[in-house]
Structure 1
Amino acid sequence: MLLAASLLLKGLAIPLLARIAWLDFATQKISNQNVLLLLCLGLGSLQLLSVQSGSWWDMGLSALAGLLLFVALFPFWAMRKIGAGDVKLMAVTPFLIGGSGLTVFSVLLLVFALVTALLVKNPFLLPAGAFRVYVQHLDRKGVVPFGVPISAAAICTIAFQIAYSLDALGAPPL
């Protein structure tokens, strides 16, 4: 029962992450309200899993990873290389995916960040003219909506975790 509630909280985070990605793409802003809601969903999910397993290791690892990410990315915000919303979103993401999902998240984040950078630097690869103009505008402004690859990596990691948990429970495939 606790696992199902934890998976439900993670599932509720998926549309919120999609909203964050869209708003960051459209406005280059990530609101504190959305980040705090993600933190609450992540903490709730981790709490349920910790109670079920009887171990607080995953929650401690997530807290340590979140703190390290915040401290590591804060100087980049101070130098105006990354937005404050991106720093906060990265610091909250380990709570959402848990310590066990950090490796998968890191690999996916690398892939999505490289694709984003490639598209921003080479907008001619994109099919639609208006979309191409928008990306060229982002390139001229010197901003990259980094919340998009962060959210995409988190969504994929959560989807993998949910699928793995359902498979382990012997649930029929979706």
Structure 2
Amino acid sequence: MSPLLAVSLLFKALAIPLLARIAWTDFKTQKISNRDVLLLFCLGVGSLQLMSVQAGSWWDMGLSAIAGLLLFVVLFPLWALRKLGAGDVKLMAVMPFVIGGSGLAAFSIMLLLFALATAAVMKYPFLLPEGAFRVYIQHLDRKGVVPFGVPISAAAICAIAFQIYAILMAATSSGALQQLI
């Protein structure tokens, strides 16, 4: 495994706890800070640049830029109509940089599954066990707020974990990881 690939995987691994923090703060406060989104963007772009240099192709970087811009343009009117929060729009626009163009299909499928699960929990909170979590979900339902940063972050964490696993398995099977150790 080359040092560029190792540092790229490190950047992806550092994005996981940041995504968990974003999900937690969005769940508790319904806010996603610009600082966290900007840091996530920097980690994603850094990882993509290292992978592009390693591969010798900038296709993934270009695809991520186009997808990020497209997501921002499509989701911005939903923010203007107050159907989606500004933090959610910015977080979704950054996701193609974090995931990379090649992982967007898997991310989209996982996002759909997590969004459906979130909608089900918000729609039917009485199915949850008794306790503070259920009361909080009912409170969010009454306010008409859905912390969409939670399913976005969960889907991104799963997609990143899958990418790291796939790269490490490929490096292990080729013997490149053994040479590094």
TM-score grouping bracket, smaller chain normalisation: over 0.9
The aligned counterpart of 1:100 is 102
Q: Match of 2:76, as an amino acid?
A: F
1:40-79 matched pairs, under 5 angstroms: 40-79=42-81
User: What SS does the corresponding residue of 1:29 show, helix, strand or coil?
Assistant: coil
Structure 1 equivalent of residue 6 of structure 2: 4
Distance (Å, rounded) in 2 between the aligned partners of 1:130 and 1:46: 40
**Aligned equivalent of 1:28:** 30
Tell me how far apart the structure 2 counterparts of residues 125 and 101 of structure 1 sit (CA, whole Å).
33
- What is the Cα-based RMSD across aligned positions, in Å? 0.9
Where do 1:128-147 residues align within 5 Å? Answer: 128-147=130-149
Aligned pair 1:90/2:78, yes or no? Answer: no
Q: Which runs of 5+ in 1 are unaligned?
A: none
Which TM-score applies when normalising by structure 1? 0.97
- In structure 2, the partner of 1:149 is 151
Distance apart, 1:124 and its partner CA:
1.2
Moved over 6 A (4+): none
The whole-number CA distance in structure 2 between the counterparts of 1:61 and 1:158 is 17
Q: How many residues align?
A: 172
Deviations 1:57-88 (CA, angstroms, capped at 9, x unpaired): 00000000000000000000000000000000
Question: Which digits, 9 at most, give the CA deviation of each residue in 1:70-117, with x for residues without a partner?
Answer: 000000000000000000000001000100000000000000000000
Three-state SS of the structure 1 residue aligned to 2:114 is: helix
Q: CA deviation digits over 1:1-46, x for unaligned, max 9? A: 1111100000000000000000000000000000000000000000
Q: Secondary structure at the match of 1:30?
A: coil
**Structure 2, unaligned runs of 5 or more:** none
1:2 alignment partner AA:
L
Q: Percent identity?
A: 77
Partner-residue secondary structure (3-state), 2:91: helix
TM-score (norm 2): 0.94
